[in-house]
């Protein structure tokens, strides 16, 4: 029941992809509120139950990333906690990274360390390369890792 191109209505899949593409353009320009509007529209197009579709995973990843980049760590966490029930989310280094970062910013340090370690185990230190070095430094204070 996952949204392989032959399983989700192709027109719906194409529309979700196009709307997310618009959101990605806004996000790349730092226009996170507008990006989130597009991502919300894409989310609304995903059939219920939403946790059954691959599209849910990548739409929630986009939502979480935009929320994180605008500093809304609570919404980042909420989006990613739901995403973890969607296909191919568990073990995705980027999703674990963003969840760990949001938890870190909320002071939930034990959970943050766990999620950041999942990101590190999945992709190594490279997954941290484009973000504030404080996250990798924090993980280094909790575990022996090779930067």
Q: Which residues of the chain have pLDDT under 70?
A: 1-6, 147
Instruction: Give the burial string for 41-52 (b: 16+ CB within 10 Å, else e).
Output: bbbebbeeebbb
Residue partners of 8: CB distance under 8 A and separation at least 6: 47, 53, 55
Do the domain assignments include residue 85? Answer: no
**CA nearest to 22, candidates 3, 10, 12, 37:** 37
The predicted structure's pLDDT at residue 146: 75
Give how many domains the chain has, as a whole number: 2
The predicted structure's pLDDT at residue 7: 81
Q: Which residue stretches of 29-128 are H helix?
A: 32-45, 54-69, 73-83, 93-105, 109-123
Q: pTM of the prediction?
A: 0.92
Distance from C-alpha of 73 to C-alpha of 107, rounded to nearest angstrom: 11
The predicted structure's pLDDT at residue 111: 98
The predicted structure's pLDDT at residue 145: 86
The predicted structure's pLDDT at residue 9: 92
The predicted structure's pLDDT at residue 131: 96
Residues 68 and 110 occupy one common structural domain: no
Domain ranges, residue 128: 91-147
């Amino acid at each position: 029941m996952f949204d392989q191109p032959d399983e989700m209505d192709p027109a719906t899949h194409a529309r979700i992809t196009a709307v997310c593409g618009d959101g990605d353009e806004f996000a790349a320009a730092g226009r996170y509120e507008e990006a989130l509007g597009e991502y919300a529209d894409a989310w609304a197009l995903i059939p219920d139950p939403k946790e059954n579709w691959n599209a849910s995973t990548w739409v929630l990843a986009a939502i979480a990333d935009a929320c994180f980049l605008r500093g809304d760590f609570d919404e980042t966490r909420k989006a990613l906690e739901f995403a973890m029930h969607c296909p191919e989310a568990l073990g995705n280094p980027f999703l674990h990274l963003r969840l760990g970062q949001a938890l870190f910013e909320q002071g939930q340090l034990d959970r943050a360390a766990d999620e950041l370690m999942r990101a590190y185990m999945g992709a190594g230190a490279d997954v941290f390369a484009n973000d504030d070095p404080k996250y990798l430094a924090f993980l280094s204070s909790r575990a022996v890792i090779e930067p």
